[in-house]
Amino acid sequence: MTLRERLFSIQDLCFSYRSTPVLEDISFELHRGKFYGLIGANGSGKSTLLELLMATLSPLSGSITYKKKQLDHYSRQELACRLALVPQHFSMDFEYLVRDVVLMGRHPHIPRFSSPAPHDIKAVDTAMETMDISHLQNRPVIALSGGELQRVVMARALAQETEVLILDEATSNLDIQHTIAIMKVIRRRVSEKGLTVIAAIHDLNLAAAFCDDCLVLKERRIYANAPVKNIFTSQLLRDVFSVDAEIHCTTEDRHPQIQYNYL
């Protein structure tokens, strides 16, 4: 088995909003070229954990290292060249055109007072084509639907060409067609280009279908951290989500499918 480069190392991480604990004693590692799902009930701390990985929040205690260097020792521009975020909610009040918003993903790579280079333009065009928004490129983002805007934000992150992509329920506003198409694109980039992804995912079957490993949060701590073929059990779904379900896997290599017992 090939050893993968360790990118993130999180040790004994704790975080609170004022006097309210949100995360406690969180420890795990993220390695290059893997797709990690982050799952848990609402309020379990998924978005907070992703903000800590992006260094938009600072830990109360514990450490986060990226490539063996403390995360807070990187400049904002250094991090923007390495980490891209697609948030669950995104708003913009100015009448930027779609193409201009996607081009913002290239800003960390463009020297100050310089114009975009041919590679920057190509990255933008490729990202828009990948997200099926090329026909929207001259439309103001304030005129887009929620699903269209989400695809623009995803294209901006892809144009950023980072080695880590962080998704905070980034497909929650999309129809099933575009959700599956985007997940397939990300899965290919993980497999073919060594992209590392950590994604908070609400749809457990989506996580089971596309992720390599899953981290499960419950009551401010990591309840489980394992490959998807091992992580999803009826017991876990009862303990973490308080639902009854059966797990089906027709072949040894196929990812599990979850069938909920609604009645």
Give 86-133 pLDDT, tens digit per residue.
988 777 778 899 999 999 999 999 988 889 999 999 999 999 999 999
* Domain layout of the chain by residue ranges: 83-161
Q: Is 254 left (phi over 0), alpha (psi -120 to 50) or beta?
A: beta
| Token code pair at residue 35 | 């797709």
Per-residue pLDDT at 1 = 44
Q: What is the pTM of this model?
A: 0.92
Give 208-256 pLDDT, tens digit per residue.
999 999 999 999 999 999 999 899 999 999 999 999 999 988 666 568 8
Amino acid identity of 211? C
| Rounded alpha-carbon distances, angstroms, from residue 133 to 101, 102, 154 | 12, 10, 10
- Is 50:166 a contact under the CB 8 Å cutoff? yes
- Is 141:151 a contact under the CB 8 Å cutoff? no
First to last CA, the chain: 44
